[in-house]
A and B are shown apart, each in its own frame.
With several copies, the nearest count.
Chain A
Amino acid sequence: MSTVTSEGTQTHGESAKPIEAIESAIVRFVGDSGDGMQLAGTQFTTTSAVFGNDIATFPDYPAEIRAPAGTLAGVSGFQINFSSRDIHTPGDKVSALMAMNPAALKANIADLEDGGLLIVNVDEFSVPNLKRAHYESNPLDSDAFDRYRVYKIPITKHTFEAVKETGLSTKDASRCKNFYALGVAFWLYDRPLETTLAWINQKFAKVPAVAQANTLALKAGYHFGETAEIFTVRYRIPRAKLAPGKYRNLTGNQATALGLIAAARLAGKPLFYGSYPITPASDILHELSLHKNFDVRTFQAEDEIAAMCSVIGAAYAGAIAVTGTSGPGMALKQEAIGLAMITEVPCLIINAQRGGPSTGLPTKTEQADLWQAIIGRNGECPVPVLAARSASDCFSAAIEAIRVAVKYMTPVILLSDGFIASGSEPWRIPDAADLEKIEIKHADDAETFQPYERNAAGSRPWAIPGTLGLQHRLGGLEKADVTGDVCYDPDNHQHMIELRARKVQNVANDIGDQEVFGEPSGDLLVASWGGTFGAVWSAVQRAQAEGHKVSHMHLRWLLPMPKNTGAILKRFKKILVCELNMGQLQFVLGGHFAIESEGLHKVQGRPFMIGEIHEKIVQVLGGQTP
């Protein structure tokens, strides 16, 4: 993927090595869970972002907290795609792989592009470690890696030497290896050290020996690149032309949390977040619980059912009420979501999807909870559903979801997934003053109040306990139109089911028309939803550039869909639906619009690669490039 630009090679700063300017690169740090790869990756990301590249990242860690050192089960990785262009995914094939042990090498080598850089910590290629990784012999001694540019560095030894003067224990000294590796990577891609050095000093202010050791390791790695004779070239990725503004790197979960806090503030309400920890949603809870000075009231419930029910209570009592979970927890919440739906209280349920079924692949990404979200409850129980398309998009998706919930007095489901929830990308920081207020008008007139009277949007009044004279009772039994009294009348039941369904359909009035990227008609429409946006968009761009008559439709709203969705679908000869499941959106499109389509279905716990989508597009179009 990384391509040499027309600028060719040049030298830079004080470096004696030639610097090649390239458009983008993909670096992946891999090692043992205990090796600090997530940290190295994050630092590389921040530095690149501050430097001015567009970036996208993909952390990948095992389900065990710390599987036995050196085993395949314990491999942890962090990938960064950084570029001088707009990018939307962490990238397909890796340009440079930093492997801290044999297991990490084994688990990741397949993703390294031909000719890519392979940097290994040779010190860890001992016989026991090779055995733990199920290598029969040392692969570095074979010709298996001839198609890569292999650099064997004794990272462990170098690190020990570098930090000797700090007097740290062997164990602590060994912990600095990641900074050494990071130093090498910084040198290789011509990144400044300042951001990381500042971070180290702040983070370890209370343990100066550690701060010093990490600093020494980082610099040692950097200097190694410069002085050792093994690297013949280094790279530079120029600044990207991003929209001007202040940026910050944010995971989807952080963005969600900020969106929720903002929404509550825009509504002038306390934020109630009732949740039960579950990967990959827990970080929303963690982030929110830090911000109590925004009148954020977090409640760690005893389970997901209690969490959802507490949300119903909080919504009834007038808070902006939200819960977050992942697939199995979502299953547990469904009965209570039905209660929120029939009582028509406004609230938000976030599902950061992970690999299923059942416990499945809990730390991996997947999009297989779409059906569950839109039609997985008992009875006729439609609930608006939308999906965020990237980490930073979670911010606005959260605000939009709350806006719909309170306007339509309904639970809303927001889908993200492990990939965007834990992955991060740059976020252009908005000015709070530019965010539109969320208008809430509670019922307050005792003379005219009727709990189930509807306004033009089909929504009922939000009357909160504490309001004089508005005493009323809500519940899960069918209720009479207008009064809300319990009612078993047959026609009323049909009427109420229709009113509730129509209300959800009315949300389509607020979400605008469905956008199409590319021509409004053509040979092929590629449809996608959720966190696969970047990959699908990039693949379609590539195919368009090749001259294919292909467009891209990314659905943010899954229920209801924008009003023109059906019309768009009918303007293309073929439809290809790409999703990280076995065809859930595809089925839904068939159900709604009676259309035939092809599907690209990936369920491997991993995001799409641009290449595989592009390949599929070309194949569906007959296999030929125009």
Chain B
Amino acid sequence: MSAIDTPLKPKDFKSDQEVRWCPGCGDYSILSQMQKVLADVGAEKHNTVFVSGIGCSSRFPYYMDTYGFHGIHGRAASIATGVKIANPDLTVWVITGDGDGLSIGGNHFIHTIRRNIDLKIVLFNNRIYGLTKGQYSPTSEVGKKTRSTPFGSIDNPIHPIAVALGVEVTFVARCVDVDVKNMISVLKRAAAHKGTAFVEVYQNCNVYNHMAFAYASDKKTKDDHVLYLEHGKPMIFGKERDKGIRLNGTMPEVVDLGSGISQDDLLIHDEKAAEPTLAYLLSRMRYPDFPEPMGVFRALEAPTYEAVLMNQIEEATRQKGKGNLNELFGAGDTWEVN
């Protein structure tokens, strides 16, 4: 219990609860990587809180030996906001799904992000409602046949990263459940970010939407469909690293390297760009027309909500002194009755 001196191992972050996802669910990998990352970054169990909504993904907190709160559908970010404001010293992670975070919880998602409160939001995007047994979600592609859309879905999907950029998120990244190395690096970066960090994880629901992200996870093909972002580096991809992304006006295009086109012609990734336009453009690169960017799209330092709030409190206390109840009660027009 007083293990703060000896470094914690991934297994120290495992709770005593039975993990209850379907065998083969992508959630297992995310759980393992999270436990590893927390150990690696030296997180303290008692100062870490996982907050979630409702959905298969939202069972996550039960499996972590940290503080945890399994909320109601769509509201994880709001609960987490209260936790963080009440105690800014805590490290607060939000675990949500594409339905939880983007359908019913879409409003809290955008408002939490715009406030830049220091929460790490990890969205398990399986493009389906898992827990309610397979209805389409806001990230499901047009034409998808599900239990609620037997003739194919007719809603245009939402792209979580584009939405986050619509409210100018300060940290945004993406990874794939089975791509362990990339996920670990992304989660570590999110852990280190001060402000709202948003991570989209492509997650396989092998029961209701199996292989939805095969293009990005299948070892054989993924190199041609995924672009790993590296700050300051040109955007190169492909198994042979022979393809790249070039800017044409405000439009990206895929080019083959060689025969007149060199690395110097390619877009250079700049995760620190003050303007989020580049990140927005990257969020619009989608399979099959483009390789889908993985890694950190944007990482910008900016004041956090809770820091500015605590500043105001300190400042007010400095100016007026620590509140005195009798002064508060007796302020304004008063009169004496004898």
Q: Is A–B contact present in the complex under a CB 8 A cutoff?
A: yes
Closest chain-A Cβ to B60's Cβ sits at a distance in Å of 10
Given A466-B90, A475-B71, check contact A315 B82 (CB 8 Å). yes
Complex Cα–Cα for A244 and B82 (A): 42
- Say yes or no: A317 contacts B2, CB within 8 Å: no
Complex interface: chain A residues within 8 A of B85 (CB): 272, 297, 299, 310, 313-314, 319
Complex Cα–Cα for A486 and B320 (A): 47
Proximity bits, B12-33, A CB within 8 Å = 1, else 0: 0001011111110000000000
Given A246-B330, A295-B313, check contact A302 B86 (CB 8 Å). no
Q: Is the interface of A mostly helix, strand, loop or mixed?
A: mixed
Question: Out of B20, B80, B315, B329, which one reaches A64, CB within 8 Å?
Answer: B20
Proximity bits, B295-313, A CB within 8 Å = 1, else 0: 0000000000000010011
Complex interface: chain B residues within 8 A of A468 (CB): 1-2, 4, 46
Complex interface: chain A residues within 8 A of B54 (CB): 359, 476
Question: Out of B20, B48, B335, which one reaches A73, CB within 8 Å?
Answer: B20
Which stretch from A135-143, A216-224, A258-266, A499-507 is at the chain B interface? A258-266
Among B66, B317, B334, B335, residue most surrounded by chain A Cβ atoms (within 10 Å)? B335
The number of chain B residues with a CB under 8 A from chain A is 91
- Say yes or no: A302 contacts B108, CB within 8 Å: yes
CB proximity to B under 8 Å, residues A482-535: 485-486
Does B332 count as interface, using CB distance less than 8 angstroms? yes
Of all chain A residues, the one with the shortest Cβ separation from B16 is A485
Complex interface: chain A residues within 8 A of B108 (CB): 302, 305-306, 309
Does A270 count as interface, using CB distance less than 8 angstroms? yes
Of all chain B residues, the one with the shortest Cβ separation from A290 is B150
Complex interface: chain A residues within 8 A of B71 (CB): 309, 312, 339, 475-476
Given A247-B336, A359-B54, check contact A465 B135 (CB 8 Å). no
Proximity bits, A285-323, B CB within 8 Å = 1, else 0: 110011111111111111111110111111111110100
- Say yes or no: A289 contacts B149, CB within 8 Å: yes
Given A466-B89, A471-B67, A476-B70, check contact A313 B135 (CB 8 Å). no
Closest chain-A Cβ to B26's Cβ sits at a distance in Å of 13
Which stretch from B99-107, B213-221, B270-278 is at the chain A interface? B99-107
The number of chain A residues with a CB under 8 A from chain B is 102
Given A465-B87, A469-B46, check contact A282 B207 (CB 8 Å). no
Which stretch from B126-134, B252-260, B283-291 is at the chain A interface? B126-134
Given A295-B313, A300-B135, A432-B329, check contact A473 B337 (CB 8 Å). no
Complex interface: chain A residues within 8 A of B336 (CB): 244-247
Given A52-B335, A317-B86, check contact A71 B18 (CB 8 Å). yes
Closest chain-A Cβ to B97's Cβ sits at a distance in Å of 13
- Say yes or no: B329 contacts A258, CB within 8 Å: yes
CB proximity to B under 8 Å, residues A53-83: 64-69, 71, 73-74
Given A359-B54, A470-B46, check contact A293 B317 (CB 8 Å). yes
Of all chain A residues, the one with the shortest Cβ separation from B320 is A293
Complex Cα–Cα for A98 and B336 (A): 29
Complex Cα–Cα for A403 and B131 (A): 35
Given A286-B147, A297-B85, check contact A302 B1 (CB 8 Å). no
Among B72, B83, B86, B130, residue most surrounded by chain A Cβ atoms (within 10 Å)? B86
- Say yes or no: A297 contacts B313, CB within 8 Å: yes
- Say yes or no: A289 contacts B148, CB within 8 Å: yes
- Say yes or no: B82 contacts A309, CB within 8 Å: yes
Does B250 count as interface, using CB distance less than 8 angstroms? no
Does A336 count as interface, using CB distance less than 8 angstroms? yes
Question: Out of A246, A272, A447, which one reaches B334, CB within 8 Å?
Answer: A246
- Say yes or no: A52 contacts B1, CB within 8 Å: no
Does B62 count as interface, using CB distance less than 8 angstroms? yes
Complex interface: chain B residues within 8 A of A71 (CB): 18, 20
A to B CB contacts below 8 Å, 22 in the list: A46-B333, A64-B21, A67-B20, A247-B336, A248-B329, A276-B104, A277-B132, A289-B150, A292-B313, A299-B81, A300-B148, A338-B72, A430-B329, A466-B47, A468-B2, A468-B46, A469-B2, A471-B15, A471-B66, A471-B67, A474-B68, A476-B71
Q: Name A residues whose Cβ lies closer than 8 Å to a Cβ of B.
A: 46, 49-52, 64-69, 71, 73-74, 195, 199, 239, 242-249, 258, 261-262, 265, 270, 272, 274, 276-279, 282, 285-286, 289-307, 309-319, 321, 328, 335-336, 338-339, 343, 358-359, 428-432, 435, 446-447, 464-477, 485-486
